[in-house]
Structure 1
Amino acid sequence: MTTFVDRVELHVAAGNGGHGCASVHREKFKPLGGPDGGNGGRGGDVTLVVDQAVTTLLDYHHSPHRKATNGQPGAGDNRSGKDGQDLVLPVPDGTVVLDKEGNVLADLVGHGTTFVAGQGGRGGLGNAALSSARRKAPGFALLGEPGEAGDVVLELKTVADVALVGYPSAGKSSLISVLSAAKPKIADYPFTTLVPNLGVVTAGSTVYTIADVPGLIPGASQGRGLGLEFLRHVERCSVLVHVLDTATLESDRDPVSDLDIIEEELRQYGGLEDRPRIVVLNKVDIPDGQDLADMIRPELEERGYQVFEVSAVARLGLKELSFALAGIIGEARAAKPQEEATRIVIRPKAVDDAGFTVTYDEAEDVYRVRGEKPERWVRQTDFSNDEAVGYLADRLNRLGVEDRLMKAGARAGDGVAIGSEENAVVFDWEPSMMAGAEMLGRRGEDHRLEAPRPAAQRRRDRDAERDDAQREYDEFDPF
């Protein structure tokens, strides 16, 4: 038995980036051929793609955990690691992507529409890419970034032009079965239809889709019955069709009261006030049904409804209804603005935007640095390598983190945390970091790779070193 699933919580994990490689080229008679460590590969993305062949989220209900592959690490001889393979997840047309708090992240409508649910991590740079005129032989490489991981909620909202609403057993499934080629389950007991049914109708030159929404009863908008579960499927429709049962056997019900109750549920659900309404009086092939239709039709027309008397069993009034719906849908389509070509929106940063912030966290008693670059650089740093840590210090100082900490009031020994509260690197700040970074600005160089200095320059350097040593001795006072 096929199961219909229109809401799932999906756990996605993008691939991690591969680590860069720290390697030195070696060959016979050339022991120090320079750095040749390759870059790590990019981690794979997790991407949602609309596929018209997919109609349910059932696969993700049974397998909610999805992970892309990791990038491969770099290697010597300038060999870059292989990129991780992207994971493409097909979803039905009309899928809405939300975070766990209910905020809409994407509304996927139209075949081929994509959304990256998890961004793969960047690959780390190898020491060949980190080398420069000042840093000729780096003894370190950058780590690969971890891929994005988290939970998203997928909700399916049926993409239909017409939504049939009404009480259970009002004849919605029978009506959609004769208007289209859809074959829903039909029986003479309430809640026969447990999932929305979708059919395609052709009326003249107009082709449109029609869907029935099951389970609407009093209290549906608050979760009673099946209404709240499926009311989302009417949000995209262009016209609402109230299917009223004129031959109901329940003594406490009548078509006008059914209409009022369903309208109240739609009003409480919200967002559907602007949709045109049509009323269909169904089952007029039954004598009592025709008599009741004749009684209530004037009242409904006084309310402004366009009323059609039909019989799904006897196939009465279906052509008029089909063409009337085609006319309303044609007007709705013409009123929609033409789709514009895809535009690239460029949002330049403010002139004074440094790309990071420094705030004082009283609860943790630390100065917290937040920003894309500082946090990314921290993730890419191998803290077991002193040279890599020094490289991180150089980058942070060039970015202006040192100056911003001073302006924020940081003093020697204060705690500084880079990153969020859950995943931050904390260290004791020393104001001399800038000076240290400047003095160690040539870290990573191998003096054996440097050209020999002229004799005059070597003498000047020796004299300067001797003068510095004499000055330190003269200034030293043991008492």
Structure 2
Amino acid sequence: MTTFVDRVELHVAAGNGGHGCASVHREKFKPLGGPDGGNGGRGGDVTLVVDQSVTTLLEYHHSPHRKATNGQPGAGDNRSGKDGQDLVLTVPDGTVVLDKKGNVLADLVGQGTTFVAGQGGRGGLGNAALASARRKAPGFALLGEPGEARDIVLELKTVADVALVGYPSAGKSSLISVLSAAKPKIADYPFTTLVPNLGVVTAGSTVYTIADVPGLIPGASQGRGLGLEFLRHVERCSVLVHVLDTATLESERDPVTDLDVIEEELKQYGGLEDRPRIVVLNKIDIPDGQDLADMIRPDLEERGYQVFEVSAVARTGLKELSFALAGIVAEARAAKPKEEATRIVIRPKAVDDAGFTVTYDEHEEVYRVRGEKPERWVRQTDFNNDEAVGYLADRLNRLGVEDELMKAGARAGDGVAIGSEDNAVVFDWEPTMMAGAEMLGRRGEDHRLEAPRPAAQRRRDRQAERDDAQREYDEFDPF
């Protein structure tokens, strides 16, 4: 049964924002007390948080679909909807977040580090928040925005100072078991280590972590054996330790050739050229092992390697190795630049940035409007309500969208699409000659979306509406 997973594909969906409410305050003797529709609640975010007590991504391997809760809709009497609850997903220290194309979105290192993987949708405004001096009683509210949904990939890269690399059965697991309190599986057959093992070592005043990486074989960087699955776990280390078996039972192998093979695989994997190397000649407690170590040590030292002869079984040479590793780790930590305090970077927009673009799509034969504000306003609009559509037209006109359409050559009746190709609202454009609340009729209506009426007829209709409203008010007048 799988107990360790270091790479998963996760499907996250943030909560949708709640819809705003269109409501009019009514009470005895006050049938038209003004708009009192509340705002919708914000949708919950999906957030990744580093928890050092978590060591695997196994939980997300079994249940990769995660969704935060939606915001609640607003209600009358100025009652706002409840915000959706954020979904917090704990991940191991050293988790890298990537998109489907392999681009790094975040590198989560350190307890409590967070990353918002899915942004919750905004709640829609109720008609109380939309009321203005010219639009005293809006007959519509804004819809809540959908939450962000996307697929991400989580990769775990072990956070360790020292990485033990070498052929299967070279003695890496035995070495980490005697250098630290770790208790990895140890046996006399290859590939006993199926997951990276971590141990904590104390050498003088230096405390460092050491990782036992599953055995590498030729072709590991191309996917052979277990190497490709776990080579990422050596990327964060400060020093690489080649553990060479001086008592191998395979006649076609020797320690120097093993070293060359592993170095070639590390080179093919890439990104590890600057890490210092140490060579450990293991199993010198065996007579043939000691003899072979004496033979190859001069050659290795001539190559520039620092060589240590050890025996994990007899526990010889471990103290010298431990303190040597501590010294390299301490130097690497001292060489790292100190983390600066968090700075807030302000990037003001250019003075000529309109916040949107208008381009002509020859394939679809439409003028395409792209921009954060226009696309968000479209998502918030209830297209079943004429007044809401008229309000959208007012907002786009004030933003300057119509002016840009005219400059781009758009004419009445041309198709206009707001949004991306796969999720756009398309309509036939009719230039707005006037905008604002003066174009409104009854609540929920907008005369710009109806057949034109003569000016005299519009005046008579408005007078009739005012007379109806006055009669309705007089009927409820207690005096």
User: Structure 1 residues 458, 72: closer, same or farther in 2, change over 3 A?
Assistant: closer
Shift of 1:362: 1.2
Residue 374 to residue 291, structure 1, CA distance change in 2 (3 Å) = same
Does the aligned pair in 1 maintain the 2:390–2:448 contact within 8 Å?
no
* Structure 1 residue 352 displacement after superposition: 1.0
SS in structure 2 at match of 1:348: coil
Offset from partner CA, 1:409-468 (integer Å, 9 cap, x none): 112211111011111000011224656888559987999999999999999999999999
Tell me, yes or no, if the aligned pair for 2:439 and 2:448 is still in contact at 8 Å. no
Give the conservation status (yes or no) of the 8 Å contact 2:17–2:71: yes
Cα distance change, pair 473–43 in 1 and its aligned pair in 2 (3 A): closer
Query: Distance between the aligned counterparts of 1:448 and 1:404, measured in 2?
Result: 21
Structure 1 residues 355 and 323: alpha-carbon distance in aligned structure 2, compared to 1, 3 A threshold: same
Tell me how far 1:91 sits from its aligned partner.
0.2
Contact kept in structure 1, 2:439 and 2:447, CA below 8 Å = no
**Displacement over 4 Å in runs of 4+:** 433-479
Contact 2:16 2:71 in 1 (8 A): yes
Distance 1:317 1:443, change over 3 A: same
Structure 1 pair 473–119 and aligned structure 2 pair: CA distance change class (3 A): closer
Shift of 1:215: 2.9
- Mean Cα displacement is larger for which, 327-336 or 423-432? 423-432
SS of equivalent to 2:436:
helix
1:58-113 deviation line (CA, Å, top 9, x unaligned): 00000101110000000000000000000000000000000011000000000000
Change in 2 beyond 3 A, CA 1:253/1:62:
same
The alpha-carbon distance between structure 1 residues 276 and 449, as it changes in their structure 2 partners (threshold 3 A), is closer
**Residues 310-333 of structure 1: per-residue CA shift (max 9 Å, x gap):** 000000100000000000000000
SS of residue paired to 2:16: coil
Residue by residue over 1:221-247, the C-alpha shift from the partner in whole angstroms, topping out at 9 and shown as x without a partner, is 011111010000000000000000000
TM-score, with structure 2 as normaliser: 0.92
Root-mean-square deviation (Å): 7.7
1:260-311: CA deviation from partner (whole Å, max 9, x where unpaired): 0100000010000000000000001101000000010001001110000000
Asked if 2 retains the 8 angstrom alpha-carbon contact of 1:95 and 1:109, the reply is: yes
* 1:14 shift after superposition: 0.5
- The one-character-per-residue Cα deviations of 1:320-374 (angstroms, maximum 9, x if unpaired) are 0000000000000000011111111111111111111111111111111111111
- Asked if the contact 1:20–1:141 (Cα under 8 Å) also holds between the matched residues in 2, the reply is yes
Secondary structure of 1:434's partner? coil
Residue 29 of structure 2 contacts residue 478 of structure 2 at CA under 8 Å; is this kept in 1? no
Change (3 A) 1:473 1:381: closer
Partner Cα separation in structure 2 for residue 476 and residue 111 of structure 1: 65
**Partner in structure 1 of residue 269 of structure 2:** 269
Cα 1:230/1:434, change in 2 over 3 Å = farther
Q: TM-score, normalised by structure 1?
A: 0.92
Q: 1:372 to 1:433 in 2, by over 3 A?
A: farther
Please state how far the C-alpha of 1:149 moved relative to its aligned partner. 0.7
CA contact (8 A) 1:138 1:445 kept: no
Q: Which residue of 2 aligns with 1:475?
A: 475
* Partner-residue secondary structure (3-state), 1:435: coil
1:358 aligns to what? 358
Task: Report the CA distance between 1:200 and its aligned residue.
Answer: 0.4
Single out whichever of 447-456 and 94-103 deviates more from structure 2: 447-456
Residues 29, 476 of structure 2: 8 Å contact kept: no
Contact 1:136 1:446 survives alignment (8 Å) = no
Name stretches of at least 5 consecutive residues in structure 2 with no aligned partner: none
Match of 1:4, SS?
coil
Q: Distance in 1 between matches of 2:317 and 2:352?
A: 68
| Contact persistence 2:441–2:462 (CA under 8 A) | no
SS in 2 for 1:300: helix
Specify whether residues 303 and 33 from structure 1 end up closer, same or farther in structure 2 by C-alpha distance, changes over 3 A only.
same
Aligned pair in 2 of structure 1 residues 359, 82: CA closer, same or farther (>3 Å)? same
The CA deviation at 1:205 is 0.5
Asked if the contact 1:36–1:77 (Cα under 8 Å) also holds between the matched residues in 2, the reply is yes
Contact 1:39 1:80 in 2 (8 A): yes
Secondary structure at the aligned position of 2:434 is classed as: helix
The SS at the match of 1:433 is: coil
Of residues 400-409 and 427-436 in structure 1, the stretch that sits farther from structure 2 once superposed is 427-436
CA distance in 1, matches of 2:13, 2:462: 58
Unaligned 5+ residue runs, structure 1? none
Q: Is the 8 A contact 1:215 1:226 kept in 2?
A: yes
1:291–1:74 CA distance, 2 compared to 1 (3 A): same
Structure 1 residues 292 and 27 mapped into 2: Cα distance closer, same or farther (>3 Å)? Answer: same
1:137 and 1:444 in contact (8 A); partners too: no
Change beyond 3 A, Cα 1:239–1:460: same
SS of the residue aligned with 1:363? Answer: coil
CA contact (8 A) 1:165 1:241 kept: yes
Q: Distance in 2 between matches of 1:376 and 1:45?
A: 18
